[in-house]
Structure 1
Amino acid sequence: MAVSGTSSTSGTSSTSNTVTGATTGIANNFDQFLTLLTTQLKNQSPLDPMDTNQFTAQLVQFAGVEQQLKTNETLGSLLSLTSASTATNAVGFIGSTITTDGATTHLANGKAEWQVNMPQAGSATITIKDSNGSVVYSQTKALSAGDQTYSWDGKTSVGAKATDGLYTVTIDAKNIAGETITAKTQISGVVDGVDFSGSIPMLKIGDISVALDKVKSLVRTA
Protein backbone atom coordinates (compact mmCIF):
# COMPACT_ATOMS: atom_id res chain seq x y z
CA MET A 1 0.00 0.00 0.00
CA ALA A 2 1.46 3.35 -0.98
CA VAL A 3 1.32 6.23 1.42
CA SER A 4 1.40 9.82 0.19
CA GLY A 5 1.79 12.98 2.23
CA THR A 6 1.10 16.61 1.42
CA SER A 7 1.62 19.86 3.27
CA SER A 8 -2.09 20.47 3.50
CA THR A 9 -4.04 19.44 6.59
CA SER A 10 -6.79 17.70 4.60
CA GLY A 11 -4.33 15.49 2.72
CA THR A 12 -2.67 14.37 5.95
CA SER A 13 -5.98 13.57 7.59
CA SER A 14 -7.12 11.48 4.61
CA THR A 15 -3.91 9.43 4.60
CA SER A 16 -4.08 8.79 8.33
CA ASN A 17 -7.75 7.72 8.25
CA THR A 18 -7.17 5.36 5.34
CA VAL A 19 -4.25 3.58 6.94
CA THR A 20 -5.90 3.40 10.37
CA GLY A 21 -9.08 1.96 8.88
CA ALA A 22 -7.15 -0.64 6.94
CA THR A 23 -5.17 -1.62 10.04
CA THR A 24 -8.35 -2.03 12.07
CA GLY A 25 -9.87 -4.20 9.35
CA ILE A 26 -6.89 -6.51 9.04
CA ALA A 27 -6.63 -6.77 12.84
CA ASN A 28 -10.25 -7.93 13.06
CA ASN A 29 -9.72 -10.48 10.30
CA PHE A 30 -6.53 -11.65 11.99
CA ASP A 31 -8.37 -12.27 15.26
CA GLN A 32 -11.12 -14.15 13.43
CA PHE A 33 -8.53 -16.24 11.63
CA LEU A 34 -6.85 -17.18 14.92
CA THR A 35 -10.22 -18.07 16.47
CA LEU A 36 -11.13 -20.23 13.47
CA LEU A 37 -7.71 -21.92 13.46
CA THR A 38 -7.87 -22.66 17.20
CA THR A 39 -11.40 -24.08 16.89
CA GLN A 40 -10.45 -26.31 13.97
CA LEU A 41 -7.36 -27.58 15.76
CA LYS A 42 -9.45 -28.45 18.84
CA ASN A 43 -12.06 -30.32 16.83
CA GLN A 44 -9.90 -32.05 14.22
CA SER A 45 -10.14 -35.80 13.76
CA PRO A 46 -7.15 -37.68 15.22
CA LEU A 47 -7.36 -40.06 12.27
CA ASP A 48 -7.37 -37.29 9.68
CA PRO A 49 -5.48 -34.27 11.05
CA MET A 50 -5.50 -31.06 9.05
CA ASP A 51 -2.46 -29.70 7.22
CA THR A 52 -0.98 -27.33 9.81
CA ASN A 53 1.70 -26.15 7.36
CA GLN A 54 -0.98 -24.44 5.29
CA PHE A 55 -2.44 -22.68 8.31
CA THR A 56 1.04 -21.65 9.44
CA ALA A 57 1.73 -20.14 6.01
CA GLN A 58 -1.54 -18.21 6.15
CA LEU A 59 -0.69 -17.03 9.67
CA VAL A 60 2.66 -15.72 8.46
CA GLN A 61 0.98 -13.92 5.53
CA PHE A 62 -1.53 -12.23 7.80
CA ALA A 63 1.24 -11.15 10.18
CA GLY A 64 3.28 -9.76 7.26
CA VAL A 65 0.37 -7.72 5.93
CA GLU A 66 -0.44 -6.37 9.38
CA GLN A 67 3.20 -5.37 9.91
CA GLN A 68 3.29 -3.62 6.53
CA LEU A 69 0.17 -1.62 7.37
CA LYS A 70 1.69 -0.54 10.68
CA THR A 71 4.86 0.50 8.84
CA ASN A 72 2.80 2.54 6.38
CA GLU A 73 0.97 4.20 9.24
CA THR A 74 4.30 5.17 10.82
CA LEU A 75 5.58 6.51 7.50
CA GLY A 76 2.41 8.56 7.11
CA SER A 77 3.01 10.13 10.51
CA LEU A 78 6.64 10.88 9.63
CA LEU A 79 5.55 12.53 6.35
CA SER A 80 3.09 14.69 8.24
CA LEU A 81 5.77 15.77 10.71
CA THR A 82 8.21 16.48 7.86
CA SER A 83 5.62 18.59 6.02
CA ALA A 84 4.88 20.57 9.17
CA SER A 85 8.60 21.13 9.77
CA THR A 86 9.15 22.23 6.16
CA ALA A 87 6.24 24.68 6.40
CA THR A 88 7.66 26.14 9.61
CA ASN A 89 11.08 26.55 7.99
CA ALA A 90 9.53 28.23 4.94
CA VAL A 91 7.77 30.83 7.09
CA GLY A 92 11.15 31.62 8.63
CA PHE A 93 12.35 32.86 5.22
CA ILE A 94 9.90 35.79 5.23
CA GLY A 95 11.77 39.08 5.43
CA SER A 96 15.05 37.54 4.27
CA THR A 97 16.84 38.18 0.97
CA ILE A 98 17.29 35.02 -1.09
CA THR A 99 19.17 34.26 -4.31
CA THR A 100 18.04 31.65 -6.84
CA ASP A 101 18.60 30.67 -10.46
CA GLY A 102 16.38 32.73 -12.74
CA ALA A 103 16.16 35.39 -15.42
CA THR A 104 13.00 37.27 -14.37
CA THR A 105 13.13 39.97 -11.72
CA HIS A 106 11.41 43.18 -10.67
CA LEU A 107 12.07 46.65 -11.97
CA ALA A 108 11.30 49.02 -9.10
CA ASN A 109 12.20 52.67 -8.69
CA GLY A 110 14.25 52.60 -11.87
CA LYS A 111 16.43 49.63 -10.91
CA ALA A 112 16.63 45.95 -11.80
CA GLU A 113 19.58 43.65 -11.15
CA TRP A 114 20.73 40.19 -12.17
CA GLN A 115 23.74 38.21 -10.98
CA VAL A 116 25.61 36.90 -14.03
CA ASN A 117 28.24 34.16 -14.18
CA MET A 118 30.49 34.04 -17.23
CA PRO A 119 32.60 30.87 -17.64
CA GLN A 120 35.08 32.90 -19.71
CA ALA A 121 35.66 36.54 -20.45
CA GLY A 122 34.05 37.83 -23.62
CA SER A 123 31.19 39.90 -24.95
CA ALA A 124 27.44 39.48 -24.64
CA THR A 125 24.29 40.78 -26.26
CA ILE A 126 21.94 41.51 -23.40
CA THR A 127 18.22 41.66 -24.18
CA ILE A 128 15.51 42.64 -21.72
CA LYS A 129 11.84 41.83 -22.30
CA ASP A 130 8.72 42.88 -20.46
CA SER A 131 6.04 40.54 -19.11
CA ASN A 132 4.38 40.45 -22.56
CA GLY A 133 7.57 39.24 -24.22
CA SER A 134 8.27 42.51 -26.00
CA VAL A 135 11.90 43.68 -26.21
CA VAL A 136 12.34 46.95 -24.31
CA TYR A 137 16.11 47.18 -24.15
CA SER A 138 19.17 45.63 -25.78
CA GLN A 139 22.89 46.27 -25.67
CA THR A 140 26.21 44.55 -26.36
CA LYS A 141 28.95 44.86 -23.79
CA ALA A 142 32.09 43.15 -22.54
CA LEU A 143 31.78 40.87 -19.52
CA SER A 144 34.60 39.51 -17.38
CA ALA A 145 34.96 35.90 -16.35
CA GLY A 146 33.22 34.83 -13.12
CA ASP A 147 30.41 36.33 -11.07
CA GLN A 148 29.26 39.91 -11.60
CA THR A 149 26.13 42.05 -11.28
CA TYR A 150 24.29 43.47 -14.27
CA SER A 151 22.15 46.50 -13.44
CA TRP A 152 19.48 48.10 -15.62
CA ASP A 153 18.23 51.60 -14.93
CA GLY A 154 14.81 51.01 -16.47
CA LYS A 155 15.49 53.09 -19.59
CA THR A 156 14.29 51.56 -22.86
CA SER A 157 16.34 51.48 -26.06
CA VAL A 158 14.61 54.70 -27.18
CA GLY A 159 15.30 56.46 -23.87
CA ALA A 160 11.82 56.15 -22.39
CA LYS A 161 11.26 55.14 -18.78
CA ALA A 162 9.91 51.59 -18.44
CA THR A 163 7.09 51.00 -15.98
CA ASP A 164 7.75 49.01 -12.82
CA GLY A 165 7.04 45.28 -13.14
CA LEU A 166 8.59 41.97 -14.12
CA TYR A 167 11.34 41.88 -16.74
CA THR A 168 13.32 38.97 -18.17
CA VAL A 169 16.93 39.12 -19.32
CA THR A 170 18.51 37.01 -22.07
CA ILE A 171 22.30 36.90 -22.44
CA ASP A 172 23.84 35.66 -25.69
CA ALA A 173 27.52 35.41 -24.80
CA LYS A 174 30.70 34.62 -26.70
CA ASN A 175 34.26 34.28 -25.49
CA ILE A 176 37.20 36.26 -26.81
CA ALA A 177 37.67 33.68 -29.59
CA GLY A 178 34.10 34.26 -30.74
CA GLU A 179 32.84 30.88 -29.52
CA THR A 180 29.37 30.69 -27.97
CA ILE A 181 29.38 30.21 -24.19
CA THR A 182 26.59 29.94 -21.63
CA ALA A 183 26.16 32.76 -19.14
CA LYS A 184 24.08 31.79 -16.09
CA THR A 185 21.80 34.27 -14.37
CA GLN A 186 20.46 34.49 -10.83
CA ILE A 187 18.00 36.83 -9.15
CA SER A 188 17.67 38.11 -5.60
CA GLY A 189 14.80 39.55 -3.62
CA VAL A 190 13.14 39.83 -0.24
CA VAL A 191 10.66 37.06 0.60
CA ASP A 192 7.28 38.57 1.43
CA GLY A 193 5.11 35.45 1.55
CA VAL A 194 4.85 31.67 1.23
CA ASP A 195 2.49 29.60 -0.93
CA PHE A 196 1.58 26.19 0.58
CA SER A 197 -0.84 25.06 -2.13
CA GLY A 198 1.68 22.67 -3.76
CA SER A 199 3.71 19.75 -2.44
CA ILE A 200 6.74 22.05 -2.04
CA PRO A 201 6.34 25.45 -0.33
CA MET A 202 6.91 28.32 -2.76
CA LEU A 203 8.60 31.44 -1.46
CA LYS A 204 7.10 34.62 -2.88
CA ILE A 205 9.13 37.63 -3.99
CA GLY A 206 6.26 39.79 -5.10
CA ASP A 207 4.85 38.00 -8.16
CA ILE A 208 7.88 35.68 -8.43
CA SER A 209 7.64 32.18 -6.96
CA VAL A 210 10.73 30.29 -5.84
CA ALA A 211 10.66 26.65 -4.73
CA LEU A 212 12.13 26.22 -1.26
CA ASP A 213 14.66 23.67 -2.53
CA LYS A 214 15.90 26.07 -5.26
CA VAL A 215 17.23 28.72 -2.89
CA LYS A 216 20.97 29.22 -3.45
CA SER A 217 21.71 31.63 -0.61
CA LEU A 218 19.93 33.58 2.12
CA VAL A 219 20.72 36.80 3.94
CA ARG A 220 18.65 37.73 6.97
CA THR A 221 17.90 41.39 7.44
CA ALA A 222 18.34 42.92 10.87
Structure 2
Amino acid sequence: MVVAAAVGAAVAGRDLSACTAPAANVSSGNASLLRETIANAADGECILVLSEVALDGSLEVFSTNKTGVILSGGVQNRIFRLENGAGLILKNLTVASGYTSSTGGCITAEDSDVTLYDSALVNCSSESHGGAVYIEDGSTLQLYGTSSIEDSSSKVYGGGVASLDSTMTVTDESRLLGNAAQRGGGVYLDSGSALTMDSSSFVANCSAEVYGGGIFATFISSVTLEDSVGVYNSS
Protein backbone atom coordinates (compact mmCIF):
# COMPACT_ATOMS: atom_id res chain seq x y z
CA MET A 1 0.00 0.00 0.00
CA VAL A 2 2.80 2.41 0.79
CA VAL A 3 4.50 1.70 -2.53
CA ALA A 4 1.27 2.06 -4.51
CA ALA A 5 0.62 5.44 -2.92
CA ALA A 6 4.16 6.55 -3.69
CA VAL A 7 3.80 5.50 -7.32
CA GLY A 8 0.57 7.44 -7.65
CA ALA A 9 2.08 10.55 -6.12
CA ALA A 10 5.17 10.43 -8.30
CA VAL A 11 3.29 10.05 -11.57
CA ALA A 12 2.36 13.73 -11.43
CA GLY A 13 6.03 14.60 -12.01
CA ARG A 14 8.11 17.48 -10.73
CA ASP A 15 7.31 21.12 -11.35
CA LEU A 16 9.97 22.62 -13.61
CA SER A 17 7.99 25.76 -14.46
CA ALA A 18 10.53 27.95 -12.64
CA CYS A 19 12.98 27.14 -15.43
CA THR A 20 10.95 29.10 -17.98
CA ALA A 21 12.52 32.18 -16.34
CA PRO A 22 15.72 31.07 -14.55
CA ALA A 23 16.78 33.15 -11.55
CA ALA A 24 20.48 32.81 -12.40
CA ASN A 25 22.89 31.49 -15.02
CA VAL A 26 26.19 29.67 -14.54
CA SER A 27 28.08 29.74 -17.82
CA SER A 28 31.67 28.93 -16.90
CA GLY A 29 31.39 25.31 -15.77
CA ASN A 30 33.12 26.41 -12.55
CA ALA A 31 32.19 24.11 -9.66
CA SER A 32 32.86 26.70 -6.93
CA LEU A 33 30.70 29.29 -8.69
CA LEU A 34 27.90 26.76 -9.07
CA ARG A 35 27.99 25.93 -5.37
CA GLU A 36 27.93 29.64 -4.46
CA THR A 37 25.00 30.30 -6.81
CA ILE A 38 23.02 27.45 -5.25
CA ALA A 39 23.72 28.77 -1.75
CA ASN A 40 22.33 32.19 -2.73
CA ALA A 41 19.24 30.87 -4.53
CA ALA A 42 15.76 31.27 -3.08
CA ASP A 43 13.41 28.39 -2.39
CA GLY A 44 12.39 26.59 -5.60
CA GLU A 45 14.42 28.80 -7.94
CA CYS A 46 15.96 27.48 -11.15
CA ILE A 47 19.62 27.93 -12.07
CA LEU A 48 20.50 27.50 -15.74
CA VAL A 49 23.81 25.66 -16.13
CA LEU A 50 25.09 26.68 -19.57
CA SER A 51 28.34 24.71 -19.57
CA GLU A 52 29.16 21.21 -18.35
CA VAL A 53 30.80 21.07 -14.91
CA ALA A 54 33.82 18.73 -15.23
CA LEU A 55 35.14 17.16 -12.03
CA ASP A 56 38.26 15.17 -11.19
CA GLY A 57 38.00 15.85 -7.45
CA SER A 58 35.17 15.91 -4.90
CA LEU A 59 32.18 18.25 -4.93
CA GLU A 60 29.20 18.40 -2.57
CA VAL A 61 26.36 20.71 -3.57
CA PHE A 62 23.19 21.19 -1.56
CA SER A 63 20.26 23.47 -0.95
CA THR A 64 19.06 24.38 2.53
CA ASN A 65 15.72 25.60 1.18
CA LYS A 66 12.54 23.70 1.97
CA THR A 67 11.75 22.66 -1.61
CA GLY A 68 15.31 22.81 -2.89
CA VAL A 69 16.75 24.35 -6.03
CA ILE A 70 16.60 23.23 -9.67
CA LEU A 71 19.73 22.97 -11.83
CA SER A 72 18.77 22.92 -15.51
CA GLY A 73 20.81 22.23 -18.61
CA GLY A 74 18.09 23.82 -20.72
CA VAL A 75 18.09 20.72 -22.99
CA GLN A 76 21.37 22.09 -24.38
CA ASN A 77 24.17 20.34 -22.49
CA ARG A 78 25.07 17.73 -19.92
CA ILE A 79 25.42 19.11 -16.37
CA PHE A 80 28.13 17.00 -14.66
CA ARG A 81 31.06 14.94 -15.99
CA LEU A 82 33.23 12.99 -13.53
CA GLU A 83 36.48 11.10 -14.10
CA ASN A 84 39.69 9.94 -12.41
CA GLY A 85 38.16 9.07 -9.04
CA ALA A 86 35.95 12.15 -8.73
CA GLY A 87 33.07 12.31 -6.26
CA LEU A 88 29.75 14.16 -6.53
CA ILE A 89 27.19 14.46 -3.73
CA LEU A 90 23.85 16.14 -4.41
CA LYS A 91 21.52 17.01 -1.51
CA ASN A 92 18.00 18.45 -1.76
CA LEU A 93 18.40 19.37 -5.43
CA THR A 94 16.63 18.71 -8.71
CA VAL A 95 18.92 18.30 -11.73
CA ALA A 96 16.86 18.63 -14.89
CA SER A 97 16.82 18.91 -18.67
CA GLY A 98 20.38 17.86 -19.34
CA TYR A 99 21.11 16.68 -22.88
CA THR A 100 24.02 15.09 -24.70
CA SER A 101 24.70 13.39 -28.00
CA SER A 102 27.07 11.15 -26.04
CA THR A 103 26.51 9.21 -22.77
CA GLY A 104 24.71 10.41 -19.64
CA GLY A 105 22.21 13.19 -20.31
CA CYS A 106 22.60 14.81 -16.88
CA ILE A 107 25.61 12.99 -15.38
CA THR A 108 28.38 10.80 -16.80
CA ALA A 109 30.99 9.18 -14.55
CA GLU A 110 34.15 7.18 -15.24
CA ASP A 111 35.89 5.56 -12.24
CA SER A 112 33.97 7.99 -10.01
CA ASP A 113 31.21 8.12 -7.39
CA VAL A 114 27.80 9.81 -7.57
CA THR A 115 25.50 10.05 -4.53
CA LEU A 116 22.01 11.57 -4.33
CA TYR A 117 20.26 12.44 -1.05
CA ASP A 118 16.65 13.64 -1.35
CA SER A 119 17.43 14.72 -4.90
CA ALA A 120 16.01 14.07 -8.35
CA LEU A 121 17.24 13.76 -11.92
CA VAL A 122 14.39 14.74 -14.23
CA ASN A 123 13.82 15.08 -17.97
CA CYS A 124 17.39 14.19 -18.94
CA SER A 125 18.14 12.76 -22.40
CA SER A 126 20.96 11.09 -24.30
CA GLU A 127 21.43 10.11 -27.92
CA SER A 128 23.59 7.23 -26.65
CA HIS A 129 23.55 5.27 -23.35
CA GLY A 130 22.16 6.52 -20.04
CA GLY A 131 19.35 9.03 -20.41
CA ALA A 132 19.98 10.52 -16.96
CA VAL A 133 23.19 8.83 -15.78
CA TYR A 134 25.97 6.81 -17.36
CA ILE A 135 28.51 5.08 -15.09
CA GLU A 136 31.51 2.98 -16.12
CA ASP A 137 34.89 1.58 -15.07
CA GLY A 138 34.12 0.85 -11.42
CA SER A 139 31.94 3.88 -10.73
CA THR A 140 29.18 3.88 -8.11
CA LEU A 141 25.73 5.48 -8.14
CA GLN A 142 23.79 5.64 -4.87
CA LEU A 143 20.26 6.97 -4.29
CA TYR A 144 19.15 7.65 -0.71
CA GLY A 145 16.31 9.40 1.09
CA THR A 146 13.51 9.28 -1.51
CA SER A 147 15.74 10.35 -4.38
CA SER A 148 14.49 9.68 -7.90
CA ILE A 149 15.34 9.44 -11.58
CA GLU A 150 12.29 10.46 -13.60
CA ASP A 151 11.04 11.03 -17.14
CA SER A 152 14.43 10.56 -18.77
CA SER A 153 15.27 8.83 -22.03
CA SER A 154 18.04 7.26 -24.07
CA LYS A 155 17.89 6.42 -27.76
CA VAL A 156 19.97 3.30 -27.08
CA TYR A 157 20.36 1.64 -23.64
CA GLY A 158 19.31 2.73 -20.16
CA GLY A 159 16.59 5.37 -20.13
CA GLY A 160 17.29 6.18 -16.49
CA VAL A 161 20.73 4.69 -15.95
CA ALA A 162 23.25 2.75 -18.04
CA SER A 163 25.98 0.97 -16.08
CA LEU A 164 29.11 -0.78 -17.40
CA ASP A 165 31.35 -2.55 -14.88
CA SER A 166 29.89 -0.39 -12.10
CA THR A 167 27.61 -0.57 -9.05
CA MET A 168 24.23 1.04 -8.39
CA THR A 169 22.37 1.12 -5.05
CA VAL A 170 18.79 2.36 -4.66
CA THR A 171 17.30 2.53 -1.17
CA ASP A 172 15.16 4.53 1.31
CA GLU A 173 12.05 4.54 -0.93
CA SER A 174 14.02 6.00 -3.83
CA ARG A 175 12.60 5.35 -7.28
CA LEU A 176 13.04 5.22 -11.03
CA LEU A 177 9.91 6.43 -12.75
CA GLY A 178 8.72 7.01 -16.31
CA ASN A 179 12.05 6.47 -18.09
CA ALA A 180 12.39 5.04 -21.62
CA ALA A 181 15.03 3.50 -23.90
CA GLN A 182 15.54 0.89 -26.60
CA ARG A 183 16.71 -1.60 -23.93
CA GLY A 184 16.45 -1.14 -20.18
CA GLY A 185 13.84 1.58 -19.79
CA GLY A 186 14.73 2.09 -16.14
CA VAL A 187 18.21 0.58 -15.86
CA TYR A 188 20.63 -1.13 -18.25
CA LEU A 189 23.41 -3.26 -16.73
CA ASP A 190 26.39 -4.68 -18.63
CA SER A 191 29.99 -5.84 -18.19
CA GLY A 192 29.58 -7.21 -14.67
CA SER A 193 27.54 -4.34 -13.23
CA ALA A 194 25.51 -4.84 -10.05
CA LEU A 195 22.21 -3.28 -8.96
CA THR A 196 20.87 -3.51 -5.40
CA MET A 197 17.44 -2.14 -4.50
CA ASP A 198 15.96 -2.29 -1.01
CA SER A 199 13.76 -0.53 1.56
CA SER A 200 10.64 -0.01 -0.58
CA SER A 201 12.39 1.43 -3.61
CA PHE A 202 10.74 0.80 -6.96
CA VAL A 203 10.93 0.95 -10.72
CA ALA A 204 7.64 2.06 -12.28
CA ASN A 205 6.10 3.18 -15.55
CA CYS A 206 9.35 2.61 -17.48
CA SER A 207 9.39 1.32 -21.05
CA ALA A 208 11.72 -0.22 -23.62
CA GLU A 209 11.27 -0.59 -27.35
CA VAL A 210 12.85 -4.06 -27.31
CA TYR A 211 13.81 -5.68 -23.97
CA GLY A 212 13.65 -4.82 -20.28
CA GLY A 213 10.99 -2.23 -19.61
CA GLY A 214 12.15 -1.82 -16.01
CA ILE A 215 15.59 -3.45 -15.87
CA PHE A 216 17.77 -5.10 -18.52
CA ALA A 217 20.82 -7.02 -17.26
CA THR A 218 23.30 -9.04 -19.31
CA PHE A 219 24.20 -12.50 -18.02
CA ILE A 220 27.38 -11.33 -16.30
CA SER A 221 25.58 -8.60 -14.35
CA SER A 222 23.55 -9.01 -11.16
CA VAL A 223 20.31 -7.65 -9.70
CA THR A 224 19.30 -7.90 -6.03
CA LEU A 225 15.82 -6.76 -4.96
CA GLU A 226 14.85 -6.65 -1.28
CA ASP A 227 11.53 -5.17 -0.15
CA SER A 228 11.28 -3.47 -3.55
CA VAL A 229 8.95 -3.68 -6.53
CA GLY A 230 8.70 -3.09 -10.25
CA VAL A 231 5.26 -2.12 -11.53
CA TYR A 232 3.62 -0.93 -14.76
CA ASN A 233 6.79 -1.41 -16.81
CA SER A 234 6.57 -2.48 -20.46
CA SER A 235 8.63 -3.58 -23.45
**Same structural fold, with TM-score higher than 0.5 when normalized by the shorter chain:** no
Higher helix share: 1
Shorter-chain TM band: under 0.3
TM-score (norm 2): 0.19
TM-score (norm 1): 0.19
Larger radius of gyration: 1
